[in-house]
Amino acid sequence: MILSQKITSYPGHEITPEDVKAGKYLDLVYKFEPKYSWAAGVAISRFLAELKEGRIIARKCMNCERILVPPRMYCEQCFRPTDEWVEIKDTGTINTYSISHVGTDARRLKTPILVAVVDLDGATPGMGILHNLGEVEPSKIKVGMKVKAVWKSSSERQGAITDIRYFRPIGEE
Amino acid sequence: MKNRVAIVGAGMTLFRRRMLESPKELSFEATRMALDSAGLELKDIQSVVSGSAPDAFDGMHMKGEYLLDGMGGIGKPNQRVYVGGGTGVFTPIGGFWNVASGMYDTCLCVAEEKMSPLHPHPQYAFWSIFDQILERPLGTTLLWIFSLEMRRYMHKYGIKEEEIASVAVKNKGNAVDHPCAQLGAKITVDDVMNSEPICWPVKRLDVSPPSDGAAAVVLATEKVAKKLTDQPVWLDGVGWTLDSTHWTNRDLAYPEYVEKAAWMAYKMAGIKKPRKEIDIAEVYDPFDYKELHHMEGLQLAGKGEAAKMAVDGVTQRDGDLPVCPSGGLLGVGNPIAAAGMMKICEVFWQLRGEAGKRQVKKDARTGLAQAWGDLMQVGTVAVMRS
Amino acid sequence: MPLRIGIVGVGYSGFDSMTPGLSTRELMFEAATRAYEDAGVDPRKDVQSFVCCTEDFWEGISITDEYMPDQLGAVLKPLCTISSDGIVGLATACMHIMSGIADVVVVESHSKISDVVNPDEISSFALDPIYDHHVSADPRFVAGLEMARYLKETATKREYCAQVAVKNKKNALLNPRGVHGANLDKKAVLNSKVASSPLTELESSKTIDGGIVFVLASAQKAKKLGNHTVWINGIGWSSDTPWLEDRDMARAVYAEQSAARAYKMAGVRNPATYFDLAEVDDTYSYKELQSLEALKLATKGKAGKMVESGTFDRDGRLPVNASGGSLGVGHLLEATGLHRVLEAVLQLRGQAGRLQIQRAKKAVVQSWRGIPTATGAVAVLGN
């Protein structure tokens, strides 16, 4: 087994988990916590404010006539400012979905998370957002299924994407 | 083009889950090997292009600066080029413009990734690739976008998980012949199907592993190259493209950004019929379905038709269009930027007929390496000729 | 023959301590829109390559280029990140044009430092993780080390450094972008709080928000775009060793190397008399002195004295940081180099308003990536 006929040695030394546990090699542990306080900007600030009210808002570009969600103040296709706010529906269609058995740090979850890209009604077809699914058996989820947002109560909502708990199926329509 | 660009040397380290060498040391090992194989010393190098994916892996801010001495960059003009997972193939593209422009005669291109320092798991770094306001609060993992894209791809073209699994079988099998490989193994489609679901439809054996490693190539002008070797490999076409940030607004079944990047590179290399003119392809395969998805974007297969090619053996080493003869990321390992560069190295060795047991059966004259990255967004493509 | 790449459009936004009303992307959109208008280009049709200069931890995003294309008009086009100062981005654009990859290239960089809660920790995180990270001091300890060594080796008087801050902050009072302009005397600068001895707070530039976009074109294309092209005639960039302990702390070696390459390309033989203005690194007061010597605009060890005598004042023989530089305007992270180029371009176009230096035809611009790097770049510009 060779890399190339002209190369005969392969540099590098592997360390096994056992080596690490046995303290065979030195390492240095530290925690780094960069902290940010992001300016959400014009478009997303309004989007979040509307979520708090239980509504989903989009932006329309009068040039290409697309209704964009998540909203942005510029149309990336036409490269011009978008023109107006449009309230869209909290129902939509599953564009694609997945059943996640691992969390953010790759640890195994007891209960899988259901995730989907949901194309929202009222926006230009194909305009989806990422969110979770709920109130559904994982094996019953289908691409093309109609779903509706399940909102937190108005007192619980704080102007965040998680003001929508998840989307649930609403049967064939 | 001012100068035709040649690759005159290549090198790489072992790819492993955890390596003793520091990021600088890994870079040094790959760089030294590339220089040795080109018959050059550092003093002969005029500029350096470095590649490494998120700083969060190695665990430092401004990683490119830290890596510099390992990459031979002290006192030289250095650019760290960066397009997420596409960085590996993009690093020699950065070298390409250093040399093609006439700015420099020789350029060292080094890609490094040490993913093991991040705890508890390298995957955690990927959380911060998502939109901080709209997506991170949902507990996102990188696996989500892959599994969502895979599901959409399967849905649109009616592709079966078993067909996709055949890619993992092929690539891990190919990697058995790669001396640096992390996960070379003879496995079956059933093994893939029975491996634990991580993020369905993605299962354990559909995924490439996190790794530590480095790889490097040396580029030179035609004039310099002809003095060094009678077997230069020409970097004749390069292309890259980024799609919109709004990945949930896109057609996930087809990578248009790869198509655009490919045509940029094909046009530069004078390729009109890629399926006929490309002899071997190192297509980006961090997940098995990705190889198929990318083959379609690269115009090496019709839309929805790559799976059949994989199942029919067309993409095997002895097939009509060998894909990932190295073993790919699935088999050799996936130290992000270094993995893309490994693909460049493999095409280099294949086109020189030096790949030993990995050598493809057909007479390969034109090869391609491609990588992908970001939020389902970047295509980077390099076309090489012997 | 000197390099000849045209700067055909510039645009900027922000230049404020905070920009809470706009997201990073919206800030970039503003700057880009102005730059395209200035150049008379449509990014969707006329631009073949986009280059952004960013670092992930300044953005709080891994793989920042993900969030770049839309607001630059770069969707489904070649766009990439160069993790370096904006002038290295300009160099990248030059090479794209020279190699025939593109006729028109956009270069962008920005600072949204007001989004970052603990910037000092991020800077410290760039120190060598094994050897230097344990120094739990304000990262400006590196500047303190350099400054002390520079003062000792060149026998420069301490107050000459203070004079740099006095000059630049005063210049910035005339600059609409001059967030940190002030009318101070040397005593006030020297008596301000010690940042890392001998460096004081008023000798340290303060970070601000801003976005800057440039449109570059080949010589042929530039003839058709705009009517105020400024030419890049030479460009160089370089890095000294990443090991703090190995560096010659008294010198800006990276700037010497960058300048040598840029001057050679532009055919500059006597830099001390060649230029009409200079915008050079003044992230910290002593850096301007170090840089002037590295650029051969002052003889070694004499820069301080020349600053003191007014050689580099707005009305002096060679105005240096007539814009106010980073000390007077503010520091823009990786966009700092582009800021310096912006100020020089406005001067060479004759659009610098109250800052205008008469008959300005040739400029040198130099930047440094900041602590703990030894990386910098130099550009030679002409109109």
Looking up tokens 């006030």 gives C188
CA distance B381 to A138: 38
CA distance C118 to A37: 10
**pLDDT attached to residue B168:** 98
φ and ψ at residue C211, rounded to 5 degrees: -125, 140
Across chain C, how many H-helices and E-strands are there? 16, 11
**pLDDT attached to residue B120:** 74
Tell me the mean pLDDT in the region C16-32. 97
Mutation target vs A (from C16, C19, C25; most A CBs, 10 A cutoff): C25
CA distances from C256 to B74, B244, C161, C262, C377 (A): 13, 40, 20, 10, 10
List, for residues C180-196, the tens digit of each pLDDT value: 999 999 999 999 999 99
Q: Answer yes or no: is pLDDT of A173 > 90.
A: no
Residue B209 is given by DSSP the state P
Q: In the numeric block, which tokens belong to residue C128? A: 């060598």
Shortest distance between the Cα of A76 and any Cα of chain C, in A, equals 5
* A96-105, B104-113, B357-366, C136-145: the lowest-pLDDT one: A96-105
Sorted by sequence, the CB contacts under 8 Å of residue C61 that are 6+ apart come out as B128, B129, B132, C67
Residue A76 — very low, low, confident or very high, per pLDDT cuts 50/70/90?
A: very high
Asked if B123 and A104 come within 8 Å (Cβ–Cβ), the reply is yes
For A33, the closest chain C residue by CA position comes to C121
**pLDDT attached to residue B142:** 87
Tell me the mean pLDDT in the region B70-98. 97
Q: What is the CATH architecture assignment of C5-117+208-222? A: 3-Layer(aba) Sandwich (3.40)
Residue C65 is given by DSSP the state G
Asked if C115 and A36 come within 8 Å (Cβ–Cβ), the reply is yes
**pLDDT attached to residue B74:** 97
Statement: the pTM of the whole predicted model exceeds 0.90: yes
Tell me the mean pLDDT in the region B305-326. 98
List, for residues C210-248, the tens digit of each pLDDT value: 999 999 999 999 999 978 999 999 999 999 999 999 999
Residue ranges covered by each domain of chain A: 42-169
CA distance B342 to B358: 14
**pLDDT attached to residue A7:** 86
Tell me the mean pLDDT in the region B7-31. 97
Asked if C101 and B129 come within 8 Å (Cβ–Cβ), the reply is no
CA distance C286 to C280: 12
Residues of B in contact with A17 (CB under 8 A): 18
Residue C263 is given by DSSP the state H
CA distance B255 to B242: 11
Asked if B66 and C126 come within 8 Å (Cβ–Cβ), the reply is yes
Shortest distance between the Cα of A151 and any Cα of chain B, in A, equals 14
- Assign B159 to helix, strand or coil: coil
CA distance A135 to A171: 12
Q: Answer yes or no: is pLDDT of C351 > 60.
A: yes
Q: Answer yes or no: is pLDDT of C92 > 70.
A: yes
Nearest to B54, CA basis, from B181, B244, B210: B210
Shortest distance between the Cα of A117 and any Cα of chain B, in A, equals 6
Across chain B, how many H-helices and E-strands are there? 14, 11
Nearest to C6, CA basis, from C193, C253, C228: C228
Q: In the numeric block, which tokens belong to residue C215? A: 């449109």
Shortest distance between the Cα of C233 and any Cα of chain B, in A, equals 13
**pLDDT attached to residue C150:** 98
CA distance A92 to C46: 37
Tell me the mean pLDDT in the region A131-149. 97
* B3-12, B221-230, C121-130: the lowest-pLDDT one: C121-130
Tell me the mean pLDDT in the region C328-334. 98
Q: Answer yes or no: is pLDDT of B342 > 50.
A: yes
List, for residues A84-123, the tens digit of each pLDDT value: 999 999 999 999 999 999 887 778 889 999 999 999 999 9
Q: Answer yes or no: is pLDDT of C366 > 70.
A: yes
List, for residues B168-214, the tens digit of each pLDDT value: 999 999 999 999 999 999 999 999 999 999 999 999 999 999 999 99
**pLDDT attached to residue A2:** 82
For C122, the closest chain A residue by CA position comes to A34
C173 touches chain A (CB under 8 A): no
**pLDDT attached to residue B290:** 98
- In this structure, which amino acid lies at residue C42? D
For C124, the closest chain A residue by CA position comes to A32
* Cβ pairs bridging A and C (under 8 Å): 71
Residue A172 — very low, low, confident or very high, per pLDDT cuts 50/70/90?
A: low
Tell me the mean pLDDT in the region C45-53. 98
Query: Cis omega (within 30 of 0) on the bond before A17?
Result: no
List, for residues B122-178, the tens digit of each pLDDT value: 777 788 889 999 999 998 888 999 999 999 999 999 999 999 999 999 999 999 999
- Distance between the two ends of chain A, CA-based, in angstroms? 60
Report the mean per-residue pLDDT for chain C. Answer: 97
Sorted by sequence, the CB contacts under 8 Å of residue C358 that are 6+ apart come out as none
CA distance C68 to C43: 14
List alpha helices for C155-215, DSSP H.
Answer: 158-172, 186-191
C-beta separation of B277 from B262 below 8 A? no
Asked if B148 and A14 come within 8 Å (Cβ–Cβ), the reply is no
Mutation target vs A (from B55, B63, B114, B144; most A CBs, 10 A cutoff): B144
For chain C, the maximum distance between any two Cα atoms, rounded to a whole number of angstroms, is: 56
**H/E element holding C259?**
helix C253-266
List, for residues C255-281, the tens digit of each pLDDT value: 999 999 999 999 999 999 999 999 999
CA distances from C223 to C92, C103, C109, C217, C230 (A): 21, 12, 25, 9, 11
Q: Answer yes or no: is pLDDT of C338 > 70.
A: yes
Q: Residue A131, CB half-sphere, CA atoms under 13 Å: how many?
A: 28
CA distance B54 to B69: 19
* Domains of chain B, start order: 5-119+209-385 (3.40.47.10)
Shortest distance between the Cα of A104 and any Cα of chain C, in A, equals 14
For C23, the closest chain A residue by CA position comes to A41
List, for residues B248-274, the tens digit of each pLDDT value: 999 999 999 999 999 999 999 999 999
CA distance C313 to A39: 38
CA distance B335 to B114: 7
Q: Report the b/e string of C161-182 with b at 16+ CB within 10 A.
A: bbbbbbbbbbbbebbebbbbbb
C-beta separation of C231 from C8 below 8 A? no
Radius of gyration of the CA atoms of chain A, in A: 23
Report the mean per-residue pLDDT for chain A. Answer: 94
Q: Which of residues 98-137 of C touch B (CB under 8 A)?
A: 98-101, 122-123, 125-130
Residue C380 neighbours by CB distance under 10 Å: 26
Looking up tokens 């590179």 gives B265
Asked if C67 and B245 come within 8 Å (Cβ–Cβ), the reply is yes
Asked if B148 and A115 come within 8 Å (Cβ–Cβ), the reply is yes
**pLDDT attached to residue B54:** 87
Tell me the mean pLDDT in the region C336-362. 97
Mutation target vs C (from A48, A74, A82; most C CBs, 10 A cutoff): A74
Q: In the numeric block, which tokens belong to residue B247? A: 């990945």
C316 touches chain A (CB under 8 A): no
